């Protein structure tokens, strides 16, 4: 017989919050039934209203705090951003760092792997850090608006200060928004698949201050394109590049396949760890430049290079980690799935006069087999995969190479732990404590560096 949930929609309860989930929601139990509530913290007592009931758990909405946590930030004036781009904004920064360390520790403990996780390396000023914005555009009250989508929805909340982005990026978005309004460019309507402009992307070099504007359109043509690009470049002197990406699809994919340069160069430049990087619109580039330098320095240190080793940098993007390692390696081999990123990586090697790095476009899991058949013998493999982690075929090939070390830069602790277990099957053990680095303050995202050695 189907068990009935002990709560019903629209009921109110006074509850104790006992935990904070990896998604940043407070957890309360009512007769052993889990209820997840946004904007609540462990140790708090709250009056909540049940808003959704599933078979095994439900969701509640905070009505009133009866007792507040000492870790709650009371004086945040932009509470609305918490519902979209800064979901941990109500938690003190020190507690955010602890939360991230605990998340990884708990996952390793659950897997009974006996691994220690170190305190998270944080930022001195944990806001206004993002060097890139991808801003949805929508018509609201007859007007083109820019803002953020409220969590788990496509409700656009208009906003000008995004709190976690470089303030110069925020200013650029407002300028571009006003120019698009002036020339009556219609915002994309996802229901009818009509309108022109879907998203505005802005990237700004942390050191170079060069700005790239990306206009993502549903249509091949952007009306009044010459007037628009002229006005953007005149209003924003830091703009070195205006790109149009055409996304004809009616799905949620952010970018389409075709990108056109409308103004200036098709790249901007920035620096990391004293190296120059060329960055194109569609290439991955870490969003928190201050923390990225700490992260990459750590990855280089953990690779333990003395100039005699061959290194594979899988999932290499525009070659940032590869080139940082090349200074201390015999040879670095990078592989990446995005063709434009590999083109950037090759230019980046030249720009930095680095001759001991080779880059190839492809799936990391496929390229590993090709390198094997070519007789490559890596001493160290560095991996920095997307959130889904390593393909199991990648792990099989990596183990066949039998490198001394694998340095794993992870943006998702769940897949890190899964992959650590698979690597353990091949005799790779985590040889030192896992080091989290906070790349994404005010959010629940967690980055870390882990070293595996062959026993």
List residues binding ligand SAM (CB under 6 A).
Answer: 284-286, 315-317, 320-321, 335-338, 341, 363-364, 384-386, 411
Does 336 count as an annotated binding residue?
A: yes
Identified catalytic residue from 298, 411, 417, 451:
411
Q: Closest separation between CB of residue 176 and ligand SAM, Å?
A: 26
Q: What span, in angstroms and rounded, lies between the C-alpha atoms of 431 and 452?
A: 6
Does 129 count as an annotated binding residue?
A: no
Q: What span, in angstroms and rounded, lies between the C-alpha atoms of 427 and 439?
A: 30
Q: Closest separation between CB of residue 31 and ligand SAM, Å?
A: 42
The token pair at 151 is 């969590």
**Given the complex with ligand SAM, which of 159 and 314 has the nearer CB atom?**
314
- Crossing angle of helices 93-110 and 413-425, in 10° steps, is 30
Mind giving me the DSSP string for 271-305?
A: EETTEEEEEETTS---S-HHHHHHHHHHHHHHHT-
**Given the complex with ligand SAM, which of 233 and 286 has the nearer CB atom?**
286
**Given the complex with ligand SAM, which of 364 and 449 has the nearer CB atom?**
364
Q: Closest separation between CB of residue 110 and ligand SAM, Å?
A: 24
Does 286 count as an annotated binding residue?
A: yes
Q: Closest separation between CB of residue 384 and ligand SAM, Å?
A: 4
* Residue 243 backbone zone (phi > 0: left; psi -120 to 50: alpha; other: beta): beta
Taken in order 364, 437, 439, 328, is the CA torsion positive or negative? negative
Cβ contacts of 2 within 8 Å, gap of 6 or more: 55
Cβ contacts of 56 within 8 Å, gap of 6 or more: 33, 34
Q: Closest separation between CB of residue 101 and ligand SAM, Å?
A: 21
Active site residue 411: yes
Distances (CA, A) of 328 to 323, 334, 361: 9, 15, 23
For 189, which DSSP code? B
**Residue 404 near residue 438, CB atoms below 8 Å:** no
Cβ contacts of 192 within 8 Å, gap of 6 or more: none
Residue sitting closest to ligand SAM (CB): 317
- Based on DSSP, count helices (H) and strands (E) in the chain, helices before strands: 9, 23
**Residue 31 near residue 53, CB atoms below 8 Å:** no
The token pair at 305 is 């290079």
Burial of 80 (0-12, 13-18, 19+ CB in 10 A): middle
SS3 346: helix
Taken in order 86, 92, 93, 98, is the CA torsion positive or negative? negative
Q: Closest separation between CB of residue 305 and ligand SAM, Å?
A: 17
Distances (CA, A) of 435 to 148, 208, 282, 381: 31, 29, 29, 18
**Given the complex with ligand SAM, which of 338 and 354 has the nearer CB atom?**
338
Q: Closest separation between CB of residue 365 and ligand SAM, Å?
A: 6
**Residues of each annotated binding site:** 286, 315, 336, 384
Catalytic residues: 411
**Residues of each annotated binding site for S-adenosyl-L-methionine:** 286, 315, 336, 384
């Amino acid at each position: 017989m189907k068990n009935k949930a002990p709560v019903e929609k629209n009921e109110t309860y006074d509850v104790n919050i006992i935990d904070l989930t990896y998604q940043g929601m407070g957890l309360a139990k009512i007769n052993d039934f889990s209820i997840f509530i946004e904007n609540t913290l462990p140790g708090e007592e709250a009056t909540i209203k049940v808003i959704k009931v599933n078979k095994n758990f439900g969701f509640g909405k905070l009505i009133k705090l009866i007792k507040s946590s000492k870790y709650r930030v009371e004086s945040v004036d932009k509470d609305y951003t918490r519902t979209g781009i800064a979901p941990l904004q109500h938690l003190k920064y020190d507690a955010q760092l602890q939360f991230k360390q605990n998340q990884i520790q708990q996952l390793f403990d659950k897997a009974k792997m006996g691994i220690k996780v170190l305190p998270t390396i944080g930022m001195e000023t944990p806001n206004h850090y993002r060097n890139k914005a991808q801003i949805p555009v929508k018509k609201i009250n007859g007007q083109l608006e820019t803002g953020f989508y409220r969590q788990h929805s496509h409700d656009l909340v208009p906003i000008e200060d995004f709190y976690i982005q470089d303030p110069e990026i925020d200013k650029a978005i407002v300028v571009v928004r006003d120019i698009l309004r002036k020339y009556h460019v219609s915002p994309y309507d996802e229901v009818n698949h009509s309108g022109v402009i879907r998203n505005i992307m802005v990237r700004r070099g942390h050191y170079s201050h060069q700005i790239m504007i990306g206009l993502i359109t549903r249509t091949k043509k952007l009306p009044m394109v010459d007037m628009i690009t002229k006005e953007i470049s005149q209003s924003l002197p830091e703009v070195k590049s205006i790109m149009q990406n055409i996304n004809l699809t009616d799905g949620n994919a952010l970018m389409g396949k075709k990108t056109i340069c409308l103004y200036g160069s098709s790249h901007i430049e920035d620096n990391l760890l004293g190296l120059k990087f060329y960055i194109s619109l569609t290439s991955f580039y870490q969003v928190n430049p201050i923390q990225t330098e700490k992260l990459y320095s750590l990855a280089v240190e953990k690779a333990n290079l003395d100039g005699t080793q061959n290194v594979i940098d899988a999932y290499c993007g525009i070659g940032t980690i590869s080139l940082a390692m090349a200074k201390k390696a015999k040879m670095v081999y990078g592989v990446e799935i995005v063709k434009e990123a590999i083109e950037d990586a090759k230019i980046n090697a030249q720009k930095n006069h680095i001759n001991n790095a080779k880059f190839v476009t492809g799936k990391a899991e496929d390229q590993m087999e090709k390198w094997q058949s070519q007789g490559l013998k890596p001493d160290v493999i560095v991996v920095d995969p997307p959130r889904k982690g390593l393909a199991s075929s990648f792990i099989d090939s990596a183990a066949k190479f039998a490198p001394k070390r694998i340095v794993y830069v992870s943006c998702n602790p769940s897949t890190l732990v899964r992959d650590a277990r698979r690597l353990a099957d091949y005799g790779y053990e985590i040889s030192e404590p896992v080091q989290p680095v906070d790349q994404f303050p005010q959010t629940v995202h967690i980055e870390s560096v882990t070293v595996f050695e062959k026993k």
